[in-house]
Amino acid sequence: MRCLVVNIMPHGPAYHFALNERPDVYWEKSDGTWLGFWTREWPDLLGEAVLKFTDRYDWEVWQTDYRADHIYSKTLESGVTHRLFPATERIYRPGVRRQAGIYSEMMLSRLKELEGSSFILALHGFRVPLYNEILRQFGPKKRFPIILIGHGMSRAPITEVRGLHRPITYVCLLVEQRKLTRLLQYADVMSVQSEYVRSEIQKVYRGRIEKLTMGCDFDFWKPVPDRATRNTLRAVLGIPPSATVFFASGNFVPLKQFDRLIEVFNRLSDRDDFVLIIAGHGEQAATKQLEALSKPLVEQDKAVLHPYVTG
């Protein structure tokens, strides 16, 4: 009998990153609206990697969605099953301030149904109000393992106390520190991507910590073997041998501030020792804006806007 891994995501589908774009998997609703999900979310990719490695597990990704009116499910070619759960906005108090966050009563009910069966709960991220609620409800009498999978450069609340804040913020951070320390004791293991994050996690968690890097396939990306090959590749791409290459990648949305980045390099356009490469995609209006901003650099062969390369 295979063990089920339930991997819960900390956010809903990123519709706001592609307002008029249908996701990879979507459903039309009776009122003419639609909902769905993209298949390259971290939990889906992690599940795909695990299922390629072993047949000991079944893997489900659970994601909250404000647009869902019932549970929507799709099993991908990888064997991963992705489910969208109805969600509402809820007011949490990580510290003493009120903070709006996503919540799903149906998801918590489904977790209660699984109690006592053979399954593992995996939570992506750190300092997520929904996860705190899950740990609060299921932690004290936990009957299944809980794994917290770290992403990025996380910081403990106590670290942020060192900054300059309003008085109420210090109180919030200290209260959050105390609450997190109490709730995280119910986690069986936490993963981190760097030694820095390990040191931060240890400020709120005394259990098992494993270093688990993710995000780059090092079997595919290999260093250029020698300088001659590097120079040949630069020549093909039109990059001078001595130029420093700056690379950025992401969705073409204001949050990423690619416009600010391009403006900085525009101010350096009289120099000939750099090439700026930006890879990504976005809505047509956002893409045209970045193309217009970078046009002076592109015409000087000092910038390249390139769509994502996949597969």
Spell out the residues 6+ positions from residue 252 whose beta carbon is closer than 8 angstroms to its own: 258, 280, 281, 282, 283, 286, 287, 290
pLDDT value of position 44:
96
Could you report the per-residue pLDDT of 79-125, keeping only the tens digit for each?
Answer: 999 999 999 999 999 999 999 999 999 999 999 999 888 899 999 88
DSSP per position, the chain: -PEEEEEE-SS---GGGSTT---SEEEE-TTS-EEEE-TTSHHHHHHHHHHHH-SSEEEEEEEEETT-SS-EEEE-TTS-EEEEEE-EEEEE-SSSS-EEEEE-HHHHHHHHHHTTSSEEEEEESSS-HHHHHHHHHHSTT--S-EEEE--SS---HHHHTTS---HHHHHHHHHHHHHHHHHGGG-SEEEESSHHHHHHHTTT--SEEEE---S--TTT----SSHHHHHHHHHHHT--TTPEEEEEEEESSGGG-HHHHHHHHHTTTT--SEEEEEEEE--HHHHHHHHHHHHHHHHTT-EEEE-----
Contact (Cβ atoms closer than 8 angstroms) between residue 159 and residue 180: no
For 177, what's the count of Cα atoms within 13 Å in the CB-facing half-sphere?
16
Q: Give the mean pLDDT of 126-133.
A: 92
Judge whether 219 lies within some domain: no
Judge whether 231 lies within some domain: yes
- Statement to judge: residues 253 and 156 lie in one domain: no
- Statement to judge: residues 179 and 92 lie in one domain: yes
The domain of 235 spans 227-306
CATH number of the structural domain spanning residue 272: 3.40.50.2000
CATH number of the structural domain spanning residue 112: 3.40.50
CA angle 45, 286, 276 (to 5 degrees): 75
Judge whether 218 lies within some domain: no
Instruction: Give residue for tokens 């020792």.
Output: 273
For 283, what's the count of Cα atoms within 13 Å in the CB-facing half-sphere?
10
- Statement to judge: residues 67 and 104 lie in one domain: yes
- Statement to judge: residues 163 and 23 lie in one domain: yes
- Statement to judge: residues 186 and 284 lie in one domain: no
Q: Give the mean pLDDT of 204-213.
A: 92
Helix axes 258-266, 284-299, angle to 10 degrees: 20
Q: Which of 151, 178, 211 is the last residue of a domain?
A: 211
Judge whether 217 lies within some domain: no
- Statement to judge: residues 206 and 63 lie in one domain: yes
Contact (Cβ atoms closer than 8 angstroms) between residue 43 and residue 6: no
- Statement to judge: residues 67 and 178 lie in one domain: yes
Judge whether 216 lies within some domain: no
- Rounded Cα–Cα distance for residues 210 and 221 (Å): 24
- Statement to judge: residues 181 and 57 lie in one domain: yes
Could you report the per-residue pLDDT of 154-173, keeping only the tens digit for each?
Answer: 889 999 998 888 999 999 99
Q: Give the mean pLDDT of 200-214.
A: 91
- Rounded Cα–Cα distance for residues 110 and 183 (Å): 21
- Statement to judge: residues 136 and 252 lie in one domain: no
Q: Which of 211, 244, 267 is the last residue of a domain?
A: 211
Q: At 204, is the pLDDT very low, low, confident or very high (cuts 50, 70, 90)?
A: very high
Could you report the per-residue pLDDT of 7-20, keeping only the tens digit for each?
Answer: 999 899 988 877 77
Judge whether 44 lies within some domain: yes
Count of domains in the chain? 2
- Statement to judge: residues 235 and 98 lie in one domain: no
Q: Which of 180, 211, 242 is the last residue of a domain?
A: 211
What token pair was written down for 126?
Answer: 């750190």
Residue 300 vs residues 5, 266, 269, 274, 288: alpha-carbon distances, Å: 52, 11, 8, 11, 19
Q: At 218, is the pLDDT very low, low, confident or very high (cuts 50, 70, 90)?
A: low
What is the chain's mean pLDDT, rounded? 91
